[in-house]
Structures are given as structure tokens and as C-alpha cells.
Amino acid sequence: MRVGLGWRRELGASILSHLDEIDVVEVLAEPLFAATPAEKRAFRFLAAHVPIVVHGTSLGLASTDGVERHRLESLARLMEWLEPEAWSEHLAFVRAGGIEIGHLAAPPRNEETLAALAENVDAARRTVGAAPLLENVATLIEPPCSTYSEGEWLDVVPRATGCELLLDLHNLHANAANFGFAIELPRAHVGMVHLAGGRVIGGDRILDDHLHAVPDVLYEMLGDLDDTTVIIERDGNYPPFEELLAEVRRARGGRTLCAPTGMGARGAHAVRPYR
């Protein structure tokens, strides 16, 4: 496993001083669209010392309204000056009909969305010069008008777009727990993995808030995947950096440290208690 962290300003100094233990760094795209010359120099310095991947949150690649061209052009400019090894975006829509939702919304999992997604990915590929990895999103609401299950969706999307998945194990785990389905890892399509933590809300629902430690069950799921690139995301409530490094080390060693999971032949995981 190649394991790294998401770059956050609060973690920057600690990441820089522990690059011997961090294999890759993921930077958010949008804050760098208007990077100053000094910021560009700083991130180029970072990229000279560790592999960088870029992570977008605002394109809305699953939008049936299409992706706004100016956003793709901003991303293309960022890719040009930063020269990351890959970029990723979410299987989500973030606006529709001129309304900004404010965050990543899970789209209806159906043919209409799939066709729009394929068109949007093509446009992104043409403008940016490389195809994205596509990340599954967490949702608190079952997307209405869906004709695919989440497991089926994570199989048809890579086939329709030619993109690999950025498989967010916490998003998948949270959705499985919240909507009561067994997880089937889409092993054949995984190009990268996200790990994060969340919390229980309303008594029995998992909220993917990125403010807590990675739960044990995610390491077990990670142990069932082939070697890949893993990014641990933490967006606040930062613990001592040594705790994040411990998560990095645990993820890197996941395949040998994990106990057997009792998976079925198709890789199905039962949803377990959240811890």
C-alpha cells in the first residue's frame, strides 16, 4: 500500500516534517484555483518532494445540467502548473437549475445520470487532459428515482466512463449502515482509496464528517483490496499528528495486520457495529 494524507493548512507543517512516512499527498483543487505566485511556489515545492494527487469537490460530474466550462478550465490550469500524478472528483451533483446545494448530493442512480456522467467525464478528459478517478459519496437520503443499487452503480459507472474509482470506504460503510445493504467491494475498479471517520447521529445513522479517527472496520475492508494508493482524510478536530501517522502506518500494513473478515465469495461485508 502507498498511504498518504489530505493536505490541510493545519496539518501542513507536520506533513512537511514527516515526508519520510507519507507516500503521497492529496490537495484540494478549489482553494488553489486562485493560487498566488507564492502559493504556487509552495505547492510546487511540495510536489517536488512527494507525489501529489488533486481532489475536486465542485465540478458536479454527475450533474444532468452538465459541468460548467469555467470550472474545468480552472482545473486544467491547476493541473498544468502543479503537475499532479492524478486527479479525482465525486459521483455527485452540487447544483441544479442555478441552485447551489452547498455540498455533494448523491444523484439518482439511473440511466439518465449515467449518460450525463459519461458526457461530463468526456468533457473533463478533453479539457483537463486526463480522466478523473470517481469517488462514491456518502448520503443521508436514499437517492430517489434510482434503478441501480449502490453496488451495481459502482460497477456500471467505471464501465460507462472508463474511469477507475476512488473508493471511499467510509462513505460506502456509512451508506451500507444507513440504508441496510451488504457491502460488495468493487475490487476490479479501484484505483485509489479514501479512509475517514465519522460519528453516529440520530441514534443509528452514520454521518461522514471527517472529524474522527478511522474506524476499525475500514481497515478490515482495506485488507480485502489489492495494493493501491490510500489517502486518509481529516477535515478538523485534529488529533496530535502522531495519531494520524499511526493511521497511516496501520493502513500501510493493513493487509497483514487485519484479522480474517469472513467475507463471502463475492466479497460481501456484513455491516458491523461502528467503532
Binding-site ranges for other proteins (CB under 8 A)? 63-65, 93, 95-97, 99-103, 105, 107-108, 112, 139-142, 144-145, 201-202, 205, 207
Query: Closest approach of Cβ 101 to other proteins, in Å?
Result: 5
For 68-119, give the DSSP string. -HHHHHHHHHHHHHH--SEEEEES-EEEETTEEEEEEEPPP-SHHHHHHHHH
The three three-digit cell numbers of residue 84, written as one number: 499532479
The identity of residue 37, as a single letter, is P
The identity of residue 7, as a single letter, is W
CB 232 within 8 A of CB 224: no
CB 109 within 8 A of CB 148: yes
The three three-digit cell numbers of residue 103, written as one number: 455540498
Query: Closest approach of Cβ 237 to other proteins, in Å?
Result: 14
Which residue's CB is nearer to other proteins, number 108 or number 253? 108
Which residue's CB is nearer to other proteins, number 202 or number 240? 202
Which residue's CB is nearer to other proteins, number 96 or number 246? 96
Which residue's CB is nearer to other proteins, number 40 or number 95? 95
Q: Which residue shows C-alpha cell 476499525? A: 216
Query: Closest approach of Cβ 63 to other proteins, in Å?
Result: 7
CB 124 within 8 A of CB 88: no
Which residue's CB is nearer to other proteins, number 101 or number 188? 101
Query: Closest approach of Cβ 18 to other proteins, in Å?
Result: 28
Query: Closest approach of Cβ 9 to other proteins, in Å?
Result: 15
Which residue's CB is nearer to other proteins, number 65 or number 80? 65
Residues 6+ apart with CB under 8 A from 16: 46
Query: Closest approach of Cβ 203 to other proteins, in Å?
Result: 11
Nearest to 5 by CA among 236, 247, 252, 232: 232
Query: Closest approach of Cβ 145 to other proteins, in Å?
Result: 5
Which residue's CB is nearer to other proteins, number 39 or number 112? 112
Query: Closest approach of Cβ 141 to other proteins, in Å?
Result: 4
State how beta strands 99-105 and 93-96 pair: antiparallel
DSSP letter (8 states) at residue 237: S
Which residue's CB is nearer to other proteins, number 63 or number 171? 63
Output b/e per residue, 243-253; b: 16+ Cβ within 10 A.
Answer: ebbebbebbbe
Backbone angles phi, psi at 192, to 5 degrees: -165, 160
